[in-house]
Amino acid sequence: MEKVVTLQHIYGKKRDRMAELLKSLVENELKDLEVKVEVSITPENWAEFTLEGEDEEVSANLLKSRYGSPAKKAEPGKVYLGFLQAFTEDAFIANIGIPVRIEAEELKALGSGKPKQLASRFGLVPHLPVEVEVFEANKKIKASFTKKQFDLWWGWKKASTDRVIINAATRSEIKSAVKKTGHGRDIYEIERLGLLEHAVVCREKTDGPGIVAAIGPRLKSEMGVVIGDSR
């Protein structure tokens, strides 16, 4: 038996439902391996997977490499997987296992504006997966996002289409909401960003805020919109 605590945070009001969704998603990812999967929630609200079977060790390594494990401390020079936790007036808060502040001066790569304005401009919502680079960790942890992370967000912003960023929903739930509201022809695809975090890629003439207005009431999610600059 192997146990793996991942960086996937269990959040929202329907925690048991989310745990079941995560179990189904991971079972699908490990379907070619001989392993039985169970999921539980740690006191810190991380998803913990119990793996049992012939391929339990391989499965554990796969989950660790794909989703990361919560860090117990931040070390200078290391890159960590984490997720966006909150946006304040002067910083982004990311969680790598412990909360890490990305100060406003480290967000200049996203352009001018306060952190909350930048988050809105790039469609960022809590729980999106991120890469964080720690460059000092003495009395006060100093960190930034990696170039890869900044490049991803700028790729959204410079695109010829809008994107709707959604958390706390499976791809099938989003697809159902899009279909039921008659917007199936208005989107290209649903990109997976994390286990329960996605980006709906709109077509060139589709308005991202309009998609949010349509599908928002059908999903218990937080949503952000990236307006493509090349539209």
For the chain, 231 residues long, give each residue's pLDDT as a single digit of tens. Answer: 999 999 888 887 778 888 888 898 899 999 999 999 999 999 989 999 999 999 999 999 999 888 889 999 999 999 999 999 999 999 999 999 999 999 999 999 999 999 999 999 999 999 999 999 999 877 788 899 999 999 999 999 999 999 999 998 889 999 999 999 999 999 999 999 987 899 999 999 999 999 999 999 999 899 999 999 977
Rounded distance between C-alpha atoms, residue 121 and residue 109, angstroms = 13
Rounded distance between C-alpha atoms, residue 163 and residue 147, angstroms = 21
DSSP the chain: -EEEEEEEE--SS-HHHHHHHHHHHHHHHTTTSS-EEEEEE-TTSEEEEEEESTTHHHHHHHHHHHH----SS--TT-EEEEEEEEE-SSEEEEESSSEEEEEGGGGGGG-SS-HHHHHHHTT--TT-EEEEEEEEESSSEEEEE-HHHHHHHHHHHTSSS-EEEE-S--HHHHHHHHHHTT-GGGEEEEEE-SSS-EEEEE-TT--HHHHHHHHGGGS---EEEE--TT-
Q: Phi and psi of 145, rounded to 5°?
A: -85, 155
Q: What is the pTM of this model?
A: 0.89
